Amino acid sequence: MSNKTLKINISGMTCVNCSNAVEKVTKKLPGVEGVNVSFASSKGEFVYDANLVNEDEIISKIKRLGYGVTADAKALEEAKTKELLALKNRLVVAGIITVIVMFLHKTPILGDLTIYLTFVLASIVQFYSGAPFYRHAYGALANKNYDMNVLVALGTTAAYGYSVAVMLFGKFFPETMRFDYFDGAVMIIAFVSLGKYLEERSKSKATDALKKLMDLSPKNATLLKDGKESEVLASSLKPEDIVIVKSGEGIPCDGIIIEGDAEIDTSMITGEPLPVHKSLNEEVVAGTILKTGFIKIKVTKFPSQTLLSTIVSLLSEAQNQKMPIGRIADRVSNIFVPSVIFISIITLFSWWFISGNTLVAFLASVSVLIISCPCALGLATPIAIVSAVGKGASMGILLKNPEVLEIMKDVKYAVFDKTGTLTKGEISVSSTSVESVEDLRLIAQIEARSEHPISKAVLDYVKNSVSLSSSSEVSVKVIPGRGIEGAVEGKTILIGSVAFLSENGVKVSAGTLEKMQEAQDEGKGAIVASIDGKEVGYFALEDSLKEEAKDLILELKKSGITPIMLTGDNEKTAKNIANKLGIETIFAEVLPQEKLEKIKELQKKGRVLFVGDGINDSLSLKQADIGIALNSGSDIAKDAGDIVLIGNDLTLVQRALNLSRRTMRTIKQNLFWAFIYNIIGIPLAAGALYPTFGLLLTPKYAGMAMSISSVTVVLNALRLKLAKL
């Protein structure tokens, strides 16, 4: 046996049943050992015996189902963009024409010619906007898979076909049966197309996070070879190469520092705001930013093996595994559609034998199809989702993937990143022991000349107490990992770590050391300042809590949801924050892939909701059952999340959970009424009451009943917009 693996991109899949159809058909090919097709990421993986089947046969089989196959991601993106645009165009056409047809149906302004104009307009919707439903319905039926596409195609064809017959041969119909249902046909296609468009638009964003992650790593690198510097493509670097990185540049590789030291912004990996000091023999990773300093790096990994590439790979894998939630209507339709067809046929032959009137038998059969037209069933979920999305947006909750509404009610664990999520993600000075206004003024003069985050924090704190004056005699030197040294008005100012001041002969008092240690024990940072060789006091630094964080944690606990903190920050700081919030479970000092593994472990016990804002959170946001990103966070985090909190207000997490519960309750109510309507209506249309009561539901009343059921579903869904959450 010679097993090979084929990985391809598949375009044109519009629902889970599409990916199911591809799997079902390709599995039947001799030699195909395993198939995994992801609707969410439009990717397919096929394990096959090369002695029995080849790649071309597999691809040909997929194309015959009506789907496109592309080898690279760029071609897939282009195909998906075209598909989304085409779907949008079909939706716009269907929406505009539906409004016109509904108007003409109620107000026949052209008299007898109105039906012909309605016919032309309805035909455009039926065969242009409705074309995808017919195409996929054919594929579904060919594979014995009865989904919503079959329902839509069946119902609209019945309504449209009967209407055309009335238009052309109305004089042969009894007067009580000369009614057209073009309005019902176009309305079904318009509303179901809206639901499909919302789904496809959400799906089209799936790879944005991957593209932005790859853009983080610099495209070029400065290679040092034989004592000469040259600019090369970062993708061409290999282990043992020597790379030079200067202030402000991105690090193009994973490697080890062999010369120099620097302050490096590693927030894309750890999520923490403070730059990290790196020196000789310490590791650096691609995509991080060198803030100050100069280093030479020995490359240790190929570009495809860097930590950033690993994150990209894991994120892609998580996308493939995260399948959309199956539609309730799709599951039921596998039974409902064949049943309706069977009932329609039975009705046709029963009336034929009972009355001997072929026309009456045909009309009764059509009445069954019209009344079972899946308008209410098709609207039940999309219209509720549209209302939920609108309600969420009005509260500052952007539902990128509305399907998570179905599973949010089952959340067992709410996992939070720390920095920027539970805290404000900004370094600030919480207190200082520097009492002299003059000393604060001199310190501010120095800090104003530095771009370091700590300098900005000190400056923001000090300028509230003193007035700053410009001076042409200010000189500043930043010592990476130590502090800042400056001269102003003839005085020497040192600000930084205790070790930095000691190296420069400044003795820090026991009282200050004790206070600094207390601050560090509370999870805060601390720096000390001196003027002309004399220590003048310390500054305590912290990342303050968001005001609403504690209330949210309390509400989650009341709802039976366990809050957990998952952070790359040190354990002492994490515990301090967790204690203030009432979070008992914390995981600190974890890298992005370790966060991912923790999420997977928790998912074995129940549904997991993850809230984060950084690039380092993207894997967890995608892997979690529900990923919630803050709008203040990175674009990559927002792309990876299912929900974005526009206002960055954590109380919106609880309101999103409440919205989920209300939405699912509404969807279930809609489906209940849609099914009850069919359970009552279909027997009436089939003539079940005619022998006893003489009641026969004609197509006219079948169409009216269909419209009433649709209006009921829509009005029920619109109640979501008035709900108090």
d(CA 688, CA 554) in angstroms, rounded, equals 57
d(CA 525, CA 277) in angstroms, rounded, equals 15
Three-state secondary structure readout of 487-527: EECCEEEEEECHHHHHHCCCCCCHHHHHHHHHHHHCCCEEE
Q: What is the dihedral of CA 141, 146, 149, 154, to 10 degrees?
A: 80
- pLDDT of 485 > 50? The answer is yes
Domain spans in the chain, listed from the N-terminal domain onward: 3-71, 77-91+146-196+207-217+308-388+662-725, 218-305, 389-423+546-657, 425-544
Specify whether the CB–CB gap between 649 and 396 falls below 8 A. yes
Token look-up 């067992």 returns 412
Over residues 56-65, mean pLDDT: 84
d(CA 268, CA 289) in angstroms, rounded, equals 9
Residues 6+ away with beta carbon under 8 Å from 384: 663, 666, 667, 670, 717, 720
Token look-up 């593994």 returns 597
Residues 6+ away with beta carbon under 8 Å from 302: 237, 238, 239
Q: Tell me, what amino acid is at 158?
A: A
Please indicate whether residue 138 or residue 437 has the higher confidence score (pLDDT): 437
- pLDDT of 678 > 50? The answer is yes
- pLDDT of 389 > 50? The answer is yes
To which H or E segment does residue 297 belong?
A: strand 289-299
Identify the DSSP state of 323. Answer: P
* 8-24 per-position pLDDT tens digit: 888 877 655 677 778 87
d(CA 29, CA 288) in angstroms, rounded, equals 47
Domains 3-71 and 218-305 share a fold: no
Specify whether the CB–CB gap between 443 and 462 falls below 8 A. yes
In this structure, the number of other CB atoms found within 10 A of the CB of residue 164 comes to: 17
d(CA 465, CA 400) in angstroms, rounded, equals 45
Residues 6+ away with beta carbon under 8 Å from 27: 35
d(CA 453, CA 721) in angstroms, rounded, equals 43
Token look-up 């489906």 returns 671
What angle, 0 to 180 degrees and rounded to 10, lies between the N-to-C axes of helices 73-106 and 114-124? 170
The residue annotated as part of the active site, out of 183, 241, 254, 417, is: 417
Pick the most confident of 55-69, 373-387, 689-703: 55-69
Among 3.90.1300.10, 1.20.1090.10, 3.30.70.100, 2.40.50.140, name the CATH number for the domain at 3-71: 3.30.70.100
What six digits make up the tokens of 216? 């983080």
pLDDT given for residue 611 in this prediction:
92
Task: Tell me the chain's radius of gyration from C-alpha atoms.
Answer: 33
Mean confidence (pLDDT) of the chain? 80
* 575-596 per-position pLDDT tens digit: 888 888 999 999 988 877 888 8
* 635-672 per-position pLDDT tens digit: 677 777 888 887 678 888 999 999 988 988 888 888 88
d(CA 86, CA 145) in angstroms, rounded, equals 25
Phi first, then psi: give them for residue 333, nearest 5 degrees.
-65, -25
pLDDT given for residue 535 in this prediction:
92
To which H or E segment does residue 541 belong?
A: strand 534-545
Cβ burial, residue 373 (10 Å; 0-12/13-18/19+): buried
What angle, 0 to 180 degrees and rounded to 10, lies between the N-to-C axes of helices 375-395 and 182-204? 50
- The answer to whether 183 is a known catalytic residue is no
d(CA 193, CA 95) in angstroms, rounded, equals 9
* Helix residue ranges, H only, 605-687: 618-623, 635-640, 651-686
Beta strands in 12-73 (DSSP E): 32-38, 43-49, 68-70
Quick one: CATH architecture of 425-544?
Answer: 3-Layer(aba) Sandwich (3.40)
pLDDT given for residue 493 in this prediction:
92
Q: Which fold has domain 218-305?
A: 2.70.150
- pLDDT of 153 > 60? The answer is yes
Q: Measured between alpha carbons, how far apart are the two ends of the chain, in Å?
A: 59
pLDDT given for residue 206 in this prediction:
42
Please indicate whether residue 708 or residue 474 has the higher confidence score (pLDDT): 474
Q: Tell me, what amino acid is at 667?
A: I
Q: Just give the CATH number of 389-423+546-657.
A: 3.40.50.1000
d(CA 153, CA 185) in angstroms, rounded, equals 10
Parallel/antiparallel/unpaired status of strands 255-265 and 289-299: antiparallel
Identify the DSSP state of 219. Answer: S
**pTM score, two decimals?**
0.58
Please indicate whether residue 166 or residue 553 has the higher confidence score (pLDDT): 553
Q: Name the 3-class secondary structure at 614.
A: coil
Residues 6+ away with beta carbon under 8 Å from 724: none
* 320-348 per-position pLDDT tens digit: 443 343 455 556 656 777 788 888 888 88
d(CA 307, CA 517) in angstroms, rounded, equals 34
Chain Cα centroid distance, residue 143: 31
Over residues 614-640, mean pLDDT: 80
